[in-house]
């Protein structure tokens, strides 16, 4: 099972001065590919964490924002990922844009976003998703699907469509502040282009090429 990559390459002189602008360029391309039916969810990313014992875990989450401060996603603060991040506030993000033979890998430190930022995003969600955040004790064992749906129905009756759902105290955002961001471009004969931004002590960025 082999895929031959025939993509245009990525050179150092094409890169933006810092990774956020470069990410924005590639994310725009990924969104365009989604509009063409090539990528299902361009903002889907694999989040990898390690708990206090060093046990790794990965799962797919959705990118909900990015800026010069980092990359933001949301979760239940009692979930497995949140407990791991409380013990070891470091993570890796992987954007697997395979149909356009590109990947972006972000490694960095993690902190919670402000309550104001969480509230603004929470209230932008569909009503059902807001109720779902209350109904699901994420990562905990649930007896059955029926138990989950019953709890959801009770909460939906408490806060019907058109009413304001309060932000759960146990739910909110995380921001991954990168220390490195790698842009991977698939190339023929497995001679892929891998250019990695690395943050220095002064907060600037240098670029290094990695062997494929």
Contact 193, 10 (CB under 8 A): yes
Rounded Cα–Cα distance for residues 59 and 138 (Å): 13
Q: Would you tell me how many other CB atoms lie within 10 Å of the CB of residue 85?
A: 24
Could you list the active site residues? 190
CA 72 to chain centre: 7
Q: Structure tokens of 92? A: 């890796």
Rg (CA), the chain: 19
Rounded Cα–Cα distance for residues 183 and 108 (Å): 15
- What number of CA atoms fall less than 13 Å from residue 103's CA on the CB side? 17
């Amino acid at each position: 099972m082999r895929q031959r990559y025939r993509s245009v390459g990525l050179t150092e002189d094409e890169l933006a001065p810092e990774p956020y602008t470069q990410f924005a360029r590639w994310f725009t391309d990924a969104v365009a590919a989604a509009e063409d039916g090539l990528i299902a969810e361009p903002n889907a990313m694999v989040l990898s964490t390690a708990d206090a014992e060093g046990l790794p875990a990965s799962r797919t989450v959705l990118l909900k924002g990015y800026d010069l401060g980092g990359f933001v996603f949301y979760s239940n603060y009692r979930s497995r990922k949140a407990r791991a991040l409380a013990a070891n506030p470091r993570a890796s993000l992987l954007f697997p844009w395979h149909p356009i033979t590109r990947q972006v890998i972000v490694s960095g430190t993690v902190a919670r976003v402000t309550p104001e930022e969480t509230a603004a995003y929470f209230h932008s969600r569909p009503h059902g998703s807001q109720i779902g955040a209350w109904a699901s004790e994420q990562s905990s064992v649930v007896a059955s699907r029926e138990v989950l749906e019953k709890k959801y129905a009770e909460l939906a009756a408490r806060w019907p469509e058109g009413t304001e759902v309060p932000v759960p105290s146990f739910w909110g955002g995380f921001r991954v502040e990168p220390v490195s961001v790698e842009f991977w471009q698939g190339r023929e004969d497995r001679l892929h282009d891998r250019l990695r931004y690395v943050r220095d002590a002064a907060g600037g960025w240098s670029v290094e090429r990695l062997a494929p």
